[in-house]
């Protein structure tokens, strides 16, 4: 029933997540080796791109699921939003799916006009530090830079959500 969605998850989303994790690891190593932005800018751009590619892949799950189940993307997004927790945690990640959808959108279009999305432009996907603990206790890297999304409100969140 969800064969295309599961196939996309297994062959696109999970590999994109692994690529993003490797890019974040490389960013940490580059930052540790030279803490001036010039020392890690190229690696930071790769991490930002991998985060966006992961967001596009995750966002594609909604489209495939809607097509296979015959229900609206809005209904699917609402159901997904109720399941966005940190692994092993109990705190709901409010707006996580919309942030992912926004990052996917700005990667494709640079600027967004959809007021329901918390992200307005490509400039809202940042490679900055220090993100550790920014959006949850023990979340993020304890040192260095990482990819964050800045919402229209000014709030910053660790990617992917």
Q: pLDDT (tens digit, 9 = 90+) per residue, 43-62?
A: 989 999 999 999 999 999 99
Q: Write down the pLDDT at residue 128.
A: 65
Euclidean distance between CA atoms 115 and 97, whole angstroms? 15
- The rounded percent of the chain whose pLDDT value lies above 70 is 87
- The rounded percent of the chain whose pLDDT value lies above 90 is 39
Domain definitions of the chain by residue range: 3-158
pTM equals 0.85
Euclidean distance between CA atoms 144 and 138, whole angstroms? 14
Judge whether residue 103 has pLDDT over 80.
Answer: yes
Q: Average per-residue pLDDT in the chain?
A: 84
76-85: string of b/e by CB count within 10 Å (b at 16+)? bbeebeeebe
Judge whether residue 137 has pLDDT over 70.
Answer: no
Q: Which residues make Cβ contacts (< 8 Å) with residue 118, sequence separation at least 6?
A: 95, 98, 99, 102, 149, 151, 152, 153
């Amino acid at each position: 029933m969800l064969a295309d969605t599961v196939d996309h998850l297994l062959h696109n989303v999970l590999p994109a997540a692994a690529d993003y994790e490797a890019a974040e690891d490389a960013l940490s190593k580059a930052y540790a080796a030279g803490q001036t932005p010039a020392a890690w800018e190229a690696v930071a751009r790769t991490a930002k791109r991998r985060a966006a590619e992961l967001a596009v892949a995750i966002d594609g799950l909604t489209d495939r699921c809607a097509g296979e189940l015959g229900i609206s993307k809005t209904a699917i997004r609402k159901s997904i939003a109720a399941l966005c927790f940190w692994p092993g945690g109990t705190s709901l990640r409010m707006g996580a799916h919309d942030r992912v959808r926004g990052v996917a959108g700005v990667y494709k279009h640079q600027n967004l006009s959809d007021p329901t999305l918390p992200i307005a432009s490509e400039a809202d996907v940042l490679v900055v530090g220090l993100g550790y603990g920014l959006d949850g206790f023990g979340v993020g890297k304890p040192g260095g830079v990482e990819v964050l999304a800045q919402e229209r409100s000014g709030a910053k969140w660790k990617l992917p959500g």
